[in-house]
Structure 1
């Protein structure tokens, strides 16, 4: 039986006739639960039922390098809220097929030859016996919550019944992925084999030895591991779980709440009722805007970046071997660790050997907790440290393929270290080294003026702390060539991080847009809105930290330094820079009130020793106006819309060249709320017409910073994704 997404055949084996369903979606590198697959699954299930009397077993296999990829996410992107009833019916149809196959009274074996995630994992769970190839690269799990969905094709019900409510929690609620060995330990997989070729023989052997099979929950004596919600220990944990979840999601992410509800409700009823509960929750989520926002960015946009869509084409791939870093401070030390942890030989230079050694010590500090917990051996830690060569001599940089300067944000200093180190770059007929600046605000084209080869000069902007932040912004200067941008892209991927590519501009994309967020918060304080209201409204909107707290952490004095530098640069162009209300307030905090930020003892917040930080009491008297009118929704709109408007301007000006760079950059670089899908997806998720209308209202009420000109509106329309 040959269908478009699978085939079915019966073979004579020592155990007798055994049916094999092989998933093989034509024209696709992976198997998905597309509409055609749903039809084909129904057809093959009907045929298996007809063949039941002569079958001794059934094998589920894949013709792809992965077992099964899961749901058809492009189909989800096209759904509307009105589609929920139809979606529910489709989910239930798939589950009826699953249930029919696993209750035939014959053994069913899933042969997992490659990764099985989401719907793929749920498909594998149809098997009473699950065999996987013992390959550490093979990934299993239920990552649906990361896309705003839930494992609603039996994943929640089966994981809960296999592992118990508490045991299933990390895999369902935290989307924890795992390899074959862990799968074997927890009972999701029953057997491991060395290679693909061993899967079918082992499956047939198991079928021969188990002529009848059923899932544990179908046995009369089944008891849920750890107890049901009625057991005292589980009940005690469930009392606080919803409150803890709400505190974490702020009510912006419906999927975790739906997953918890489906787990608990399903644990109190029979299996079939539990799976219907799952279906109801999943259908609602699949038709929701949050799911579409998150799927757009965390699947399609992230895959676009990993596939190199922003990387210049026709440039050979580059694998970094030896990279130099100038400056062993917080950023330089962090970059050194990121490189050494990925096997890259690193030369870490500072003005003295002592400072360079202090920078290397950061890697020991970062890795020591892992050594203490047994997650890293002492030998591996020493090997990592040995890859970092601390030095005060520029001569030790000789032969580096790439040198990155990570010194203080001062043009003269950056020019000096560039000219000192650049001659040390590797230069052969086969390979010409390149130079990068880790600046966060200074235009790359200006910094490249100090370079003897500006075409080989690029911006590589890391975020702090480097060991935790995944985003890296690559900035193309006016003279930077394609080869250099492509190599910078490959270097960032080699670190296991996410590169976005932008064109040169003051503040580039991330710093420029991040500045609008914090300065809008400062502006609202200047209007008389209470600081606590601004901070709490921001967090409730899904932003990780309020704008005033962020200004403190990054240093108000640094913001003033950037403002002063901008004034000077604009003046050098013969123009006058007009500071925004937020910038003027920050300047007052620093220059009049002496509040420079957390590192200097205090800014918008006080930081008492041994206590939690608290808002500086003087803010109330200095800025708060009892008669000031405000609404939480307006505050949240100002903070979110201001960033999205600036992002649209960056797209219109060519600073950004793709929506995927904008969305990924805004979430991973500046903390734009994940539920929106990013700064551009926030526009598309809101609806272009509705967004523009609200932006016009905000511009009329709060200033031209919210205004969208014709160029920005055209860019929004031109880049709107189609699915």
Structure 2
């Protein structure tokens, strides 16, 4: 039998081991359906002689779910194809659960999406105890819903209120959590015990009829109108909308199907689910999320942008220079990943204070039951505070995280290189200073690289790696591997003023300020920014970052412009002007209690009334123009970065824009937004904005060719 093995055990149970050819995991596609039909045909032919059925996997995981290539193919074929595919899968799972003999899913690894749907069709689910094993329905994160009966069965097993959070939030549960939630029935210590325990359960001759196939079955907790459910079901849409702004339809559709499924029989509920799957499949959000947050993210995680001629590097010990906001976060992220850290500051007291940040986070984790005291203590032991540069002598990598000052960074680089070994790499954490300029102080510029962390470091899952003009490929490879080792996503860019993320995000704030200067009501500016999918408005983000800090960055870049004969600061000059103005009147941002917003002691905020006095707010611009000015300004700047070679491929730009500064996820990122809208249509709209509001919206020439090259390219490795 192709893609699976079929064995009759001495106990009389049939052991079906799914092992799809040509891949590291089992995925559901046409080959899977063909294989499973053959398995079911044989099971049905032999059921009179079988004591039961055990379904397991020949891979390290159980079944990973739907084949993304197949899902995209279905999308191209249209909604009828999507409907037919999931109906075929449902029919197979229905044949399995109504086979007439007990069926056990022996879960030797993760079962996500369709894999979990297969497991739910079994009469018992036994999992191996493994911290890497996960169970859940992640489809909502791809703009889809479980299409193989996952909604219908989970609601009937767990009840509406317990199933909805798992379905609408895409939670992934470990074995113990899944057992508590009711998704699995039993945990065994190792893979060898799985089959033995499955056979023992079958030997007890358990019932092989699902509860919903029995007369009089009632869903746990009742239907959507039951007193315990009605209020929550009524509130769920507003809770979902608050998170999605109506831009990600999957969660709301899951809620609808889950609720309505309680009003009809099992088969009709499955039809509802299939139709909803087919509808979501055709939405732009689904394609954008699949292409960026699955395919392109997987490419990055697999090292597509990493120089390929170098073996994986194991960074064991790092030094962090500067125990301030960024340095302490870097030290924490490295320590919780098992790396030894020397955290240096100008005094031991300052370094100890930086370590206290990690202590505070770990103490909270212990209080919440996420870590043990032993684990906390072992992690803290990995961080050594110091005021002595010589303590960093044996580090594989040193990350300098001091103030954004070229002279200071030059001085620190010279000092640390004097104690490091010849193979050690020095990285600078900077958001805007040119790496090649900072590398001028290095005796080994080929071993010098930029690592742009984002604040707060412990919560932001991305690092922008910047290559200077002399950074070597092996240095880039080591930096890439280090970032992955601390469980963050690396994107790679080439040296430029503002790099990629800072350059693109700064124009969002700048465009918000330009709209304010144009007399647009700040309430409209902020609300429309959130309406298009940004986490916060452009005025609020300047308050959060603090305008006096933004002003220092602007002044530094303006000075660099004079030194280099450049004009980078002009890309966000209105933002610089406004930060200067607001700081000068004592309103630099949230930490000061006053910025574009007024802040109450309880944390609430309201827009500062003085904005109306200074800027009016009565100008009436088309709402579509305001939305597009905020969104297109970022995308056009990103397009210029791609055209100039700052970012070399669309995947790093797309993923970076979403993870680094919250570009609307439903768009799939800055470049997927162009592709989804259509390059010609996007350029036409950008030209309209340029004609009406200025050349900052003008796209680079022949951008289609640039986009085509970047869609398939690997990063050009630095010389």
Same-fold status (TM-score > 0.5) = yes
1:614 to 606, 614, 631: 606
Question: Given that residues 77 and 296 in structure 1 are in contact (C-alpha distance below 8 angstroms), is that contact kept between their aligned partners in structure 2?
Answer: no
Query: CA–CA distance in 2 between the matches of 1:518 and 1:200?
Result: 59
Q: Is the aligned partner of 1:30 residue 2:25? A: yes
Q: Is the aligned partner of 1:688 residue 2:683? A: no
| Map of 1:668 onto structure 2 | 659
Question: Given that residues 523 and 585 in structure 1 are in contact (C-alpha distance below 8 angstroms), is that contact kept between their aligned partners in structure 2?
Answer: no
SS in 2 for 1:225: coil
SS in 1 for 2:157: helix
Query: CA–CA distance in 2 between the matches of 1:575 and 1:128?
Result: 69
The structural deviation recorded for 1:93 is: 1.7
The structural deviation recorded for 1:80 is: 4.3
Task: Point out where structure 2 has 5 or more consecutive residues left out of the alignment.
Answer: 714-719
| Map of 2:8 onto structure 1 | 11
Query: CA–CA distance in 2 between the matches of 1:703 and 1:108?
Result: 67
Deviation digits for residues 415-467 of structure 1, max 9, x if unmatched?
Answer: 1111112222234xxxx111010011100000011111111111011100011
Q: Is the aligned partner of 1:411 residue 2:406? A: yes
Query: CA–CA distance in 2 between the matches of 1:125 and 1:600?
Result: 54
Deviation digits for residues 362-410 of structure 1, max 9, x if unmatched?
Answer: 1122222222233323333233222222222222222122111111111
Q: Is the aligned partner of 1:654 residue 2:645? A: yes
| Map of 2:716 onto structure 1 | none
Query: CA–CA distance in 2 between the matches of 1:107 and 1:135?
Result: 25
Structure 2 CA distance for partners of 1:353 and 1:38, relative to 1, 3 Å: same
2:559 to 553, 568, 573: 568
2:359 to 341, 345, 364: 364
Structure 2 CA distance for partners of 1:92 and 1:79, relative to 1, 3 Å: closer
SS in 2 for 1:656: coil
| Map of 2:142 onto structure 1 | 147
| Map of 1:77 onto structure 2 | 72
Structure 2 CA distance for partners of 1:426 and 1:272, relative to 1, 3 Å: same
1:229 to 213, 221, 224: 224
Query: CA–CA distance in 1 between the matches of 2:102 and 2:213?
Result: 14
5 Å-filtered alignment, 1:218-257, equals 218-257=213-252
Q: Is the aligned partner of 1:303 residue 2:307? A: no
Question: Given that residues 414 and 441 in structure 2 are in contact (C-alpha distance below 8 angstroms), is that contact kept between their aligned partners in structure 1?
Answer: yes
5 Å-filtered alignment, 1:623-634, equals 623-626=615-618, 628-634=619-625
SS in 2 for 1:136: coil
How many residues were matched structurally? 712
Cα RMSD (Å): 2.2
The structural deviation recorded for 1:514 is: 0.7
SS in 1 for 2:170: coil
SS in 1 for 2:126: strand
Q: Is the aligned partner of 1:342 residue 2:334? A: no
The structural deviation recorded for 1:495 is: 0.7
Structure 2 CA distance for partners of 1:721 and 1:322, relative to 1, 3 Å: closer
5 Å-filtered alignment, 1:304-703, equals 304-427=299-422, 432-574=423-565, 578=570, 582-583=574-575, 585-587=577-579, 589-590=581-582, 593-626=585-618, 628-703=619-694
The structural deviation recorded for 1:326 is: 1.1
Query: CA–CA distance in 2 between the matches of 1:335 and 1:220?
Result: 59
Query: CA–CA distance in 1 between the matches of 2:384 and 2:304?
Result: 34
Structure 2 CA distance for partners of 1:339 and 1:579, relative to 1, 3 Å: closer
2:103 to 82, 99, 108: 108
The structural deviation recorded for 1:346 is: 1.3
The structural deviation recorded for 1:546 is: 0.4
The structural deviation recorded for 1:320 is: 2.0
Task: Point out where structure 1 has 5 or more consecutive residues left out of the alignment.
Answer: none
TM-score by length of 1: 0.94
Question: Given that residues 607 and 613 in structure 1 are in contact (C-alpha distance below 8 angstroms), is that contact kept between their aligned partners in structure 2?
Answer: yes
The structural deviation recorded for 1:86 is: 2.4
Query: CA–CA distance in 1 between the matches of 2:127 and 2:358?
Result: 36
Q: Is the aligned partner of 1:707 residue 2:698? A: yes
The 10-residue stretch of structure 1 (98-107 or 74-83) with the greater mean CA deviation from structure 2: 74-83
Structure 2 CA distance for partners of 1:556 and 1:184, relative to 1, 3 Å: closer
| Map of 1:271 onto structure 2 | 266
5 Å-filtered alignment, 1:107-256, equals 107-210=102-205, 212-256=207-251
Structure 2 CA distance for partners of 1:248 and 1:575, relative to 1, 3 Å: closer
SS in 1 for 2:219: coil
The structural deviation recorded for 1:339 is: 1.4
The structural deviation recorded for 1:304 is: 1.2
TM-score by length of 2: 0.94
| Map of 2:61 onto structure 1 | 66
The structural deviation recorded for 1:498 is: 0.8
Query: CA–CA distance in 1 between the matches of 2:674 and 2:638?
Result: 10
Deviation digits for residues 221-277 of structure 1, max 9, x if unmatched?
Answer: 533223332321221222211111112211011010011111111122221122111
Question: Given that residues 526 and 581 in structure 1 are in contact (C-alpha distance below 8 angstroms), is that contact kept between their aligned partners in structure 2?
Answer: no
The structural deviation recorded for 1:43 is: 4.5
Query: CA–CA distance in 2 between the matches of 1:511 and 1:642?
Result: 13
The 10-residue stretch of structure 1 (544-553 or 125-134) with the greater mean CA deviation from structure 2: 125-134
SS in 2 for 1:295: helix
Query: CA–CA distance in 2 between the matches of 1:183 and 1:579?
Result: 50
Structure 2 CA distance for partners of 1:587 and 1:678, relative to 1, 3 Å: same
The structural deviation recorded for 1:605 is: 1.5
Query: CA–CA distance in 2 between the matches of 1:149 and 1:579?
Result: 38
